[in-house]
Structure 1
Amino acid sequence: MDVIVVGGGPVGLMTAALLDAAGIQVEVYERTSEPVRQSRGSTMHPRTLEVLAMLDFGGGRRVSDVLLAQGKQVPRTHYATLPDLLDYRELDTPFPFVLMISQWRTEQILADLLRARAVPVHYGTDVTEVVPAADEVRVCVGDTWHSAPYLVGADGAHSVVRKAAGIDFTGTAPDKVGFVADVRLAEPVEQAVHHWNQDAGFASLVPLTQTITRVFGVKAADVGLTAEEVRRRQTVPLTLEELRKSLTAICGRDYGVHSPSWMSKSSNTGRHAVTYRAGRVLLAGDAGHVHLPAGGQGLNVGLQDATNLAWKLAAEVHGWAPARLITGEAGYNAERLPVAEQLVANTQAQDVLMHAFSPGGAALRDLFSGFIAQGGEVARYLAGVLSGLAVTYRRPDGAHELVGTRAPDLALTSDTLLREVRPDRFLLVDFTPDASLAGLASARVEVRTAPPPTGPRRTAWKDVRAALIRPDGYIAHAASSADRLTEAIRAWTEPDHRTASGMTVR
């Protein structure tokens, strides 16, 4: 093995699938005996669908194609359950909507992909010990030890891997407890319904399928608790009768809830790892960040963590990663830790908007909802944050304004950009009229020609003749000529003798 992944949820499976696609020997260890069959993270935003479009499922399909066939497309979504909704329909993406799809379906699709590619996923294998060393990481499963040069911890909020690596998990303790359930309704709702009651609390009902509805909320009486009170209440299972009473108090009726398939309690703990990497140990998903479950962001950010991590780790294993990709300014930790910080901050802001049950809280909700209704800069910003399309990475001084931004799904001569990106190589998009960049193709750079972008993209791309696209779909270099293009490619694809951390690159 080159890499062990601990955790067989969607983030761990996605990491393994991308590593495998990049030619890495990887195995997954998952403590549960079989995949979960609960909805859990059921909201998939546009950027997540874009990165899943980069992953080949076989038979001419991408993972995103398979998900779209099973999910429900919703063009508008809430921010902090405000009455005015964010509209995704004008976003520059092939997926201008939220896809409602149960987490177990996403997990099943990724597991099917790994099974088809003969990537081992070991269920019922609880990793109890992790021992990092200078040249490998060892894990204990039962009475057996396994080792690999690298370890990815995708094992959730209580990550054994994070604790063993000595990585602090900093943030705020919870002060409220909420309810969440997937149920059937005797009085079904056709679209999402959000109730906010200053005296009783808030409750939302969001259709997942034609028969299953996600119900979630917080009672006003369950706000302002101590962390110990939250933990104690979370240990008491949610009952259907309790759910009915909560809905009746908040909404004035219980919608005839019945036949729950999943019931749980949530909190607003907001924490993130202080680093995403400690030597040969890396974290992804909930192992790196936990927060109020607002806007369905946890699963999405986790899958995008995996997309950023996998190609860089593959490059490191294969021996061509420069230091900037390992411990430098474009390394996994350098790029994704700020995303986690922003994730925790924006869910904390939603926490206040959702749970300040007072006249001031009502006024604040009206104010923000009005900003969204105007459809201006605030609405565009919030839509960019939730959708994941607005995430950017560091742009060096003097670089083109597109560098560090996500590449849109440009029309290429052969296909579209998202379907040409691969986790084991860069994509050089050649906009020159005579296709003069073909000679720059190599084992790590694939060259594709493209017509000049049109429509709304025309302004930002008007002077671009060459764009180097990273394996995760972000722009590494953009220029109006081929000058210094060879130098830029080398800076991203040729190794240094030693990394900044002192580890020899294999």
Structure 2
Amino acid sequence: MDVIVVGAGPVGMTIAALLDTAGVRVEVVERSSEPVRQSRGSTMHPRTLEVLTVLETGDGCRLSDVLVELGKPVTGTHYATLPDLLDYQDLDTPFPFVLLLAQWRTEQALAELLRAREVPVHYGAEVTEVVQSDDEVRVLAGGTWHSARYVVGADGAHSAVRKAAGIAFPGTTPNAVGFVGDVRLAHPPEHSLHLWDQERGSVSVIPLTDTATRVFGMRADDVGLTAAQARRRQAEPLTFAELADSVTGISGRDFGLRDASWLSRSSNSARHATTYRAGRVFLTGDAGHVHLPAGGQGFNVGIQDATNLAWKLAAEVAGRAPGLLITGEAAYDAERRPVAERLVADTQAQDALMHTFSPAGAALRSLFGSFIAQGGEVAQQLAGAVSGLAVAYPHPDGAHALVGTRAPDLPLTKGSVLRALRPDRFLLLDLTADASLAKFGSPQVEVRTAALHDGPRRAAWDSVRAALIRPDGYVAYAASSPAGLADAVAAWLEPASQPDAVRGK
């Protein structure tokens, strides 16, 4: 194999599907004996739906189409369970909503896609050893050795791959423990409820489907614990009786709780890996960052990690990756680890807003809630960050302002930008009057004519006549003329000559 992916969750299966689409030989190993039927992550944000649009399901649809059909779109999402929601309706995306969808359904759709592509997924194959050399990585999974040129660890917070690679995972220890469950209610609320009381705690009730409701929160007496107390508390199985008691005690009603299909506890431990790459080993998703669950951001950032890594790793496997992608400023670690650092900081801020059960905490929530209710600059910035649409990567000095930003879904002569992206090639948008950029086309660069953008970022695109879009949908180059385009294409496609880059030396 070219790549072994460890972990068959949504992050692992996403990168496997993207690598396979790029022509990379890939297999997945998973320690669980069968696919998980628990909900876990249930919130999918716009940027995640955008990147999943790249994956074709073989029936003329994209994976995002399949998921939207399965899920429940809602126009707003909470920030720190504040009662006023962030409004997604005016976001510049084909998906101006949050998609509520049980994680197992996302995993099922991805598993079906991998089966259709004949990508091997080995269940019951727990990884116990990972050994890398200059030329390959060997993985002992389920008692069988597998070898590949690279390994991707998508195996969660307790990642065996991360530990075997010797990558440190520093952060904060937990001091609070929450509850979460998917339940059936006789009297579910019509819309999501976020209730907070400085004496009793907080509880959120979010209808997912006609029969399933996500309930989560934290009791005030489960805050301010020592790390040892928090770990003991988290290790105790959450019972239905305890969940019902917590919901009723905090909210003053039980909503007609009937039964639960999944119960768990969460903590506010926050960690992220010191590097996302060690030689031929990569980390993605929870293997690289863990934090308080807050609006599904970890789940979404993990899938976006996978999207950033897939095309770069595919280029490296094919021998066409420049140093820019291996060890340079656009390397996977250089671009995605800062995103994880911001994510961890954001969830810590939400932790303070959600779980400071005191008069000061109430005042803080009231103040911050007023910023969101006003719908001004703060609300817009938060909506951009949580949705993933505002994530941008650094651009070189002197580069066009659009470089490093996410490309909007511009209409093309056929289709749109999102549906034209592929993980094995760049997309060159020709916005010239005479469609004069065709000569820049190649197996790694598809040239498509596009119309000028008419969204909220119109001014930034008015003078653009050539835009090179990366396989993950970010602008690699933009200019008012094609004068420097040849050099820009070469910078992103000219292979690196130094073999030591692969070994991390």
The TM-score by the shorter chain falls in which range? over 0.9
- TM-superposition CA deviations, 1:142-163 (whole Å, max 9, x none): 3321111100000000000000
Letter aligned with residue 39 of structure 1: S
Whole-Å separation in 1 of the counterparts to 2:78 and 2:455: 28
Task: Give the TM-score normalised by the residue count of structure 2.
Answer: 0.99
- TM-superposition CA deviations, 1:5-24 (whole Å, max 9, x none): 00000000001000000000
Contact kept in structure 2, 1:323 and 1:500, CA below 8 Å: no
Whole-Å separation in 2 of the counterparts to 1:180 and 1:494: 49
3-state SS of the aligned residue for 2:403?
coil
Whole-Å separation in 1 of the counterparts to 2:42 and 2:378: 25
3-state SS of the aligned residue for 1:58?
coil
Is structure 2 residue 488 aligned with structure 1 residue 488?
Answer: yes
Q: How far apart are residue 454 of structure 1 and its match?
A: 2.4
Whole-Å separation in 1 of the counterparts to 2:289 and 2:230: 19
The 5-angstrom pairing of residues 316-327 of structure 1 reads 316-327=316-327
Match for residue 176 of structure 1? 176
Q: How far apart are residue 227 of structure 1 and its match?
A: 1.0
3-state SS of the aligned residue for 2:57?
strand
Whole-Å separation in 1 of the counterparts to 2:29 and 2:12: 9
Match for residue 155 of structure 1? 155
Q: How far apart are residue 457 of structure 1 and its match?
A: 3.4
Match for residue 417 of structure 2? 417
Letter aligned with residue 38 of structure 1: Q
Q: How far apart are residue 502 of structure 1 and its match?
A: 6.3
- TM-superposition CA deviations, 1:307-349 (whole Å, max 9, x none): 0000000000000000110111000000000000000000000
Task: Give the TM-score normalised by the residue count of structure 1.
Answer: 0.98
Q: How far apart are residue 28 of structure 1 and its match?
A: 0.2
Whole-Å separation in 1 of the counterparts to 2:374 and 2:500: 48
Contact kept in structure 1, 2:279 and 2:504, CA below 8 Å: no
Contact kept in structure 2, 1:498 and 1:504, CA below 8 Å: no
Letter aligned with residue 296 of structure 2: G
Q: How far apart are residue 67 of structure 1 and its match?
A: 0.2
Match for residue 379 of structure 2? 379
Letter aligned with residue 203 of structure 2: A
Q: How far apart are residue 458 of structure 1 and its match?
A: 2.3
- TM-superposition CA deviations, 1:252-295 (whole Å, max 9, x none): 11112121000001100100001000000000000000000011
- TM-superposition CA deviations, 1:79-128 (whole Å, max 9, x none): 00001110000000000000000000000101100100100001111111
3-state SS of the aligned residue for 2:501?
coil
The 5-angstrom pairing of residues 39-78 of structure 1 reads 39-78=39-78
Root mean square deviation of aligned Cα: 1.2
Whole-Å separation in 2 of the counterparts to 1:382 and 1:51: 20
| Unaligned 5+ runs, structure 2 | none
Which shifted more, 247-256 or 342-351? Answer: 247-256
Which shifted more, 493-502 or 235-244? Answer: 493-502
The 5-angstrom pairing of residues 88-237 of structure 1 reads 88-237=88-237
Which shifted more, 237-246 or 401-410? Answer: 237-246
Q: How far apart are residue 503 of structure 1 and its match?
A: 4.5
| Unaligned 5+ runs, structure 1 | none
Whole-Å separation in 1 of the counterparts to 2:153 and 2:337: 15
Letter aligned with residue 37 of structure 2: R
Which shifted more, 478-487 or 495-504? Answer: 495-504
3-state SS of the aligned residue for 1:35?
coil
Letter aligned with residue 281 of structure 1: V
Whole-Å separation in 2 of the counterparts to 1:252 and 1:96: 34
3-state SS of the aligned residue for 1:56?
coil
3-state SS of the aligned residue for 1:334?
helix
Match for residue 442 of structure 2? 442
- TM-superposition CA deviations, 1:195-238 (whole Å, max 9, x none): 10110000000011111000000000000001111111111111
Q: 1:330 to 1:455 in 2, by over 3 A?
A: closer
Contact kept in structure 1, 2:14 and 2:110, CA below 8 Å: yes
Whole-Å separation in 1 of the counterparts to 2:455 and 2:256: 49
- TM-superposition CA deviations, 1:39-68 (whole Å, max 9, x none): 110100000000011111111100000001
3-state SS of the aligned residue for 1:432?
coil
Q: 1:496 to 1:36 in 2, by over 3 A?
A: same
Letter aligned with residue 398 of structure 2: G
Contact kept in structure 2, 1:56 and 1:63, CA below 8 Å: yes
Is structure 2 residue 278 aligned with structure 1 residue 295?
Answer: no
Whole-Å separation in 1 of the counterparts to 2:496 and 2:188: 60
